[in-house]
A and B are shown apart, each in its own frame.
Chain A
Amino acid sequence: VMNPFGLIQIGLILLCTTSISSLQCNHLPVQQRKVIEKSLQLLDKMGKKFPQQCLREKMSFRFPVQALQPRQKETVTVAIEEIFQHIFYIFSKNLTLAAWDGTALDQFQNGLYRQIEQLEACVIKKHTRYCWSKEVSRLKLRKYFQKIDCFLKDKQHDLCSWEISRAEMRRCLQLIDKVTRKL
């Protein structure tokens, strides 16, 4: 007698491979590329060149690249959405010591927020959330962002910790840009 739970699992996995196309979600990669381009520009604009004195404190966070290469292609969108959520969260508070350009920072966050909304709408439509939650690399992604968050907290959000985090986020967005171009 086959386990009914197993059947449900199979059914859901099959659901992962179907895609409900909607005009908005078909053009998502095009839109996303522009958002990432703009976000990188704003990240550069909000602060100056990386300060020399902060080189000593540089940390290696090791972004989990496997998170952007999941077994199911559709789950890349969910992975990107989660990454944007994390970046949005990191840049949302305790920014006084960073002394960055307020307008550029506002626009950066605003852009991320809008893209998160778009991605959420598409992800819910495509029913791909189930597949992503089973990915192992998802935990690695969470650990990565948690590490950055703890690093900032330990350094009390001082200038160097912010500059290091900003450089790290830049690297992260560039990786996403590469992946989005292939979509």
Chain B
Amino acid sequence: AQIGPPGMELQPTNGAIKIKVSPPEANQGRKMWINDLSFKYNLIFWENSSQAQVQSKNIFPVDTIDDLAPDTTYCFKVQANLPTEGKQGLFSPISCVKSTQKVNDPLCAANLSVLALNMKFQLLWDNQEQPQVNYNVQYLIGYLKRLNDDYSEKWLSVPRCENITHTWCNVSSIITTTGFYFLRVQARAGSNRSCLSREVKVDPLKTNGIGPPGVRLDISDTLLHILISPPGGADFEAMRDNYDLSYRILYWKNSSNEEEEVRQKEVKQTIATVPELAASTLYCVRVQALSQVYNKSSPYSQQECIQTPADTPLPLLIFAIFMGALLAVLLVAMPLVFGLYQAYSKIKYVFFPSCQPPLNIEGFGGQLFSSPYLSAAEEPVENCCVIESMITEEGNQIDFKDYKHSKQSSRDSGNYSNDDNTSGSKGSKETLEKEIL
């Protein structure tokens, strides 16, 4: 498919020509090239004279052609291209216009330049006229030029750069790392005179200059530690991320008599170590920050030097080590040996006693548990008691009661008889039982 011709409008203004290009199929309902913002316009123009040199320029949909000879007729034609597809469109019809006289107003700010260090952007310009000129710095966000609309109303004033009389201004407040910006200066004198300067394009990460990093040195044993503080300090954190910084370290021995070779080391981190240092030597270091992604380098940092300590003499070292070892032995080995000896003696005492039992109880060796203290066998002891029985002539029955009677009868004189067991005898029984009991 072929890209159709774009539309073109020309407007001469003050020595320059303003061009407005309308994309192909601009007024069509159904479009083939839906994304009309993806076109890139190629302008071809030449002076309408016999030996005209044809010039070619890539332009935005709304753009200005400067540096034209005044009062000259120029002819233009433009095509819309899709570079990523390698497609080139048809040219618009040729249109010719005469340029106006350029009024070189000395009021206008000229030679705009941008200086940037560690993402602090400064715009500088020249003042051609006498003082009493008020300046107003304006900026435009880059992508607006890519749109098909006229962006002249979209310029904004940079804060703290309005109505100033000096020819510089800090524009960092509006600059971010995301994309391009355009800057221009409007000069005013009195109430009716004003002039707009040319524009300058700023690509922040490309335009910015990286400042030198900070360096600190430290020595421990035979190692030199180089501590790098990144450029710009805390503010620069986000930019550091974009630049993907690495550091180049230069170090050398600074001795007064001979020229020493300068050694180099590249690191990504902010700390580096140099091993195997010579004693009693002055070492000097300089560091530079690099961005491989943007092909940028910072200036070298200030030179920092440090002296390595003197070496300790060898005999003294040997003696010190010997004494140290001796002390260690005394402190550690002696308690250990003592402890071991104690343990040994205890074990020996318990399991292998050195004293022998006396000779007279030697026999007991085999009958250790047949103790001489066992009680003797008990002789059977009988608990005997004598029971006396009395046999009387009178009767076969021997009655205990009778015996009692007989005892009583010995005292009493024949009051009682065998036959008669009446109450009288009962009473005396009771008293007898009490006596026996």
Binds A, one of B64-72, B138-146, B249-257, B324-332: B138-146
Q: B38 contacts the other chain (Cβ, under 8 Å)? A: yes
Cβ-defined contact, A30 with B83, below 8 A = no
Find chain A residues with CB under 8 A from B178 CB: 38, 42, 107-108, 110-111, 114
Find chain A residues with CB under 8 A from B141 CB: 106, 109-110
Cβ-defined contact, B84 with A149, below 8 A = no
Cβ-defined contact, A23 with B83, below 8 A = no
Chain B 32-46 interface residues, beta-carbon cutoff 8 Å to A: 34-38, 40
Q: B311 contacts the other chain (Cβ, under 8 Å)? A: no
Cβ-closest chain B residue relative to A39: B178
Mostly, the B contact residues are: loop
Cβ-defined contact, B179 with A110, below 8 A = yes
Chain A 22-76 interface residues, beta-carbon cutoff 8 Å to B: 23-24, 27, 30-31, 34, 38, 42
Within the complex, what minimum Cβ distance (angstroms) separates A30 from chain B? 6
Find chain B residues with CB under 8 A from A24 CB: 295
Chain A 82-125 interface residues, beta-carbon cutoff 8 Å to B: 82, 85-86, 88-89, 92, 106-114, 119-120, 123-124
Cβ-defined contact, B35 with A27, below 8 A = no
Q: B86 contacts the other chain (Cβ, under 8 Å)? A: yes
Q: B105 contacts the other chain (Cβ, under 8 Å)? A: no
Cβ-defined contact, A85 with B38, below 8 A = yes
> Contact flags (1/0) for B174-201 with A, using CB distance below 8 Å?
0010111000000000000000000000
Identify the interface centre among A30, A78, A106: most chain B CB within 10 Å of its CB.
A106
Find chain B residues with CB under 8 A from A82 CB: 84
Cβ-closest chain B residue relative to A117: B180
Docked Cα-Cα span, A85 to B180, in Å, equals 17
Q: B390 contacts the other chain (Cβ, under 8 Å)? A: no
Q: A129 contacts the other chain (Cβ, under 8 Å)? A: yes
Find chain B residues with CB under 8 A from A78 CB: 84
Chain B 238-273 interface residues, beta-carbon cutoff 8 Å to A: 241-242, 244
Q: B340 contacts the other chain (Cβ, under 8 Å)? A: no
Docked Cα-Cα span, A38 to B293, in Å, equals 17
Cβ-closest chain A residue relative to B35: A89
Chain B 106-134 interface residues, beta-carbon cutoff 8 Å to A: none
Cβ-defined contact, B143 with A120, below 8 A = no
Cβ-defined contact, B83 with A85, below 8 A = no
Given contacts A107-B178, A110-B141, A112-B143, contact A120 B34 (CB under 8 A): no
Cβ-defined contact, A27 with B142, below 8 A = no
Within the complex, what minimum Cβ distance (angstroms) separates B141 from chain A? 5
Cβ-defined contact, A27 with B292, below 8 A = yes
Find chain B residues with CB under 8 A from A158 CB: none
Q: B85 contacts the other chain (Cβ, under 8 Å)? A: yes
Docked Cα-Cα span, A31 to B178, in Å, equals 11
Within the complex, what minimum Cβ distance (angstroms) separates A104 from chain B? 10
Docked Cα-Cα span, A30 to B245, in Å, equals 13
Q: A174 contacts the other chain (Cβ, under 8 Å)? A: no
Within the complex, what minimum Cβ distance (angstroms) separates A122 from chain B? 10
Cβ-defined contact, A120 with B84, below 8 A = yes
Docked Cα-Cα span, A88 to B144, in Å, equals 11
Given contacts A85-B37, A85-B38, A89-B38, contact A110 B84 (CB under 8 A): no
Given contacts A34-B242, A114-B142, contact A130 B86 (CB under 8 A): yes
Docked Cα-Cα span, A171 to B204, in Å, equals 29
Docked Cα-Cα span, A38 to B205, in Å, equals 15
Q: A9 contacts the other chain (Cβ, under 8 Å)? A: no
Q: A177 contacts the other chain (Cβ, under 8 Å)? A: no
Find chain A residues with CB under 8 A from B242 CB: 34
Within the complex, what minimum Cβ distance (angstroms) separates B180 from chain A? 6
Chain B 19-64 interface residues, beta-carbon cutoff 8 Å to A: 34-38, 40
Cβ-defined contact, B293 with A27, below 8 A = yes
Cβ-closest chain A residue relative to B38: A85
Find chain B residues with CB under 8 A from A124 CB: 83-84
Find chain A residues with CB under 8 A from B85 CB: 129, 132-133
Docked Cα-Cα span, A124 to B34, in Å, equals 22
Docked Cα-Cα span, A132 to B83, in Å, equals 13
Partner of B142, one of A30, A42, A81, A113: A113
Q: B147 contacts the other chain (Cβ, under 8 Å)? A: yes
> Contact flags (1/0) for B140-161 with A, using CB distance below 8 Å?
0111001100000000000000
Find chain A residues with CB under 8 A from B37 CB: 85, 88-89, 92
Chain A 127-180 interface residues, beta-carbon cutoff 8 Å to B: 129-130, 132-133, 142, 145-146, 149
Within the complex, what minimum Cβ distance (angstroms) separates B232 from chain A? 18
Find chain B residues with CB under 8 A from A42 CB: 178
Docked Cα-Cα span, A8 to B293, in Å, equals 36
Find chain B residues with CB under 8 A from A129 CB: 83-86
Find chain A residues with CB under 8 A from B292 CB: 23, 27
Within the complex, what minimum Cβ distance (angstroms) separates A135 from chain B? 12
Given A109-B141, A109-B143, A113-B179: 17 more A-B contacts, CB < 8 Å: A23-B295, A27-B293, A34-B242, A78-B84, A85-B35, A89-B36, A89-B38, A113-B142, A113-B180, A114-B142, A120-B40, A120-B83, A120-B84, A123-B84, A129-B85, A130-B86, A132-B85
> What are 14 A-B contacts with C-beta separation under 8 Å?
A23-B292, A38-B178, A85-B35, A88-B146, A89-B34, A92-B147, A107-B179, A110-B180, A113-B179, A114-B180, A120-B84, A123-B84, A133-B86, A146-B34
Q: List the 4 shortest-distance A-B pairs measured between CB atoms, nearest first.
A: A110-B179, A113-B143, A114-B179, A111-B178
